[in-house]
C-alpha cells in the first residue's frame, strides 16, 4: 500500500510538470500592440495585418477584455492574398536535445469566432506551424524551411455563424530535426469571397492562444528521480 501511495505521488509529480508555461507572449491579446509586418524577433504578433480590439460586432472576447481581429491578407494592410496569417516566432533552441531525438512535439490551440454575416462571409479558420533552421533575424530571407503542418491537414475548420460561441482548434506536430525556431500561425481564410479591398473580413477573431512543447526539458529527469524514490521505498 505504501508503494502504491508513492506511485500516486510520482504520477502527481509528472502531472504537475505538464502544467507548463505558455511559450507565446501576449497569448490572450490583453496587451495592446501593433499587429502586422515582417517579424525578425520573438515575442511579438505580426505578419499580416490585424488589430487588438474589445467587444464589437456582438462578439465578446473569449478571455479578458481584448481579442485579435483579422483585418487583411498582407503585412501592410493590402488585399492581395486569400488568408490573413497572424503569427509569432518561437525560439526552439531550449528543446534542441528533444528535437534531435525526435521526441519533441509542438502542441497548440486557439479559440476562433466570427459574426454571422451573410452569403459572402468567409467561414474558415486554421492553426499552422512552420519550422526553420537559422535565426529569426534572417526572416524571411536566408532561413531554411524544414517543414510545415496545419490543423487543416485534419480537415478544414468551418466555423459556426453564432457570434456568442467560441470554437477551439487544437493541433500537435512532431518538430523536424534541425529546427531552431517556428512560426506559430493563427489564420482566417477567404474561402467564400476573396475581397479586393481591406478590411477583407466581416468580423473574424481569435483569442486565448496556447503553444507548448511536449515533453518539456526536465520531465524525463523528474520521472527518473521519482522512480528511484519509489524503488527505494519498496526496499
The domain segmentation of the chain, as residue ranges, is 1-20+223-235, 22-215
CATH class of 22-215: mainly beta
CB atoms < 10 A from the CB of 71, how many?
A: 23
Q: What angle do CA 95, 100, 103 make, to 5 degrees?
A: 70
Residue 227 pLDDT more than 60? no
Strand, helix or coil at 53? strand
Bridge partner residues of 127 (DSSP): 186
How far apart are alpha carbons 67 and 205 in whole angstroms? 7
Residue 8 pLDDT more than 70? no
What's the pLDDT tens digit per position in 97-141? 999 999 999 999 999 999 999 999 999 999 999 999 999 988 777
What's the pLDDT tens digit per position in 138-154? 877 778 889 888 766 64
Q: What is the pLDDT of residue 150?
A: 76
58: which DSSP letter?
A: T
pLDDT band (50, 70, 90) for residue 52 = very high
Residue 14 pLDDT more than 60? no
Looking at every residue in the chain, the average pLDDT score rounds to 84
178 burial (CB, 10 Å; 0-12 / 13-18 / 19+) is: middle
Residue 188 corresponds to which cell in the numbers above?
482566417
Residue 222 pLDDT more than 50? no
185 burial (CB, 10 Å; 0-12 / 13-18 / 19+) is: buried
Greatest Cα-to-Cα distance within the chain, rounded to the nearest angstrom: 73
What's the pLDDT tens digit per position in 164-219? 999 999 999 999 999 999 999 999 999 999 888 888 999 999 999 999 998 755 44
Question: Can you say how many angstroms the Cα of residue 123 is from the centroid of all Cα atoms in its chain?
Answer: 19
Amino acid at each position: 500500500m505504501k508503494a502504491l501511495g508513492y506511485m500516486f505521488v510520482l504520477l502527481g509529480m509528472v502531472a504537475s510538470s505538464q502544467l507548463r508555461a505558455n511559450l507565446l507572449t501576449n497569448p490572450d491579446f490583453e496587451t495592446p500592440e501593433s499587429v502586422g509586418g515582417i517579424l525578425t524577433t520573438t515575442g511579438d504578433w505580426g505578419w499580416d495585418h490585424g488589430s487588438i480590439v474589445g467587444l464589437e460586432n456582438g462578439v465578446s472576447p473569449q478571455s479578458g477584455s481584448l481579442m485579435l481581429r483579422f483585418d487583411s491578407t498582407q503585412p501592410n494592410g493590402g488585399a492581395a492574398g486569400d488568408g490573413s496569417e497572424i503569427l509569432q516566432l518561437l525560439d526552439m533552441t531550449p528543446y534542441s536535445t528533444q528535437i534531435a531525438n525526435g521526441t519533441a512535439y509542438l502542441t497548440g490551440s486557439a479559440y476562433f469566432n466570427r459574426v454571422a454575416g451573410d452569403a459572402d462571409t468567409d467561414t474558415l479558420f486554421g492553426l499552422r506551424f512552420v519550422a526553420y533552421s537559422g535565426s529569426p533575424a534572417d526572416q524571411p530571407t536566408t532561413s531554411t524551411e524544414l517543414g510545415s503542418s496545419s490543423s487543416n491537414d485534419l480537415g478544414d475548420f468551418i466555423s459556426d455563424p453564432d457570434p456568442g460561441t467560441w470554437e477551439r482548434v487544437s493541433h500537435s506536430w512532431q518538430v523536424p530535426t534541425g529546427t531552431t525556431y517556428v512560426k506559430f500561425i493563427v489564420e482566417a481564410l477567404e474561402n467564400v469571397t476573396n475581397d479586393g479591398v481591406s478590411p477583407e473580413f466581416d468580423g473574424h477573431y481569435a483569442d486565448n492562444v496556447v503553444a507548448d512543447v511536449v515533453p518539456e526539458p526536465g520531465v524525463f529527469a523528474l520521472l527518473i528521480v521519482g522512480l528511484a524514490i519509489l524503488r527505494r521505498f519498496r526496499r
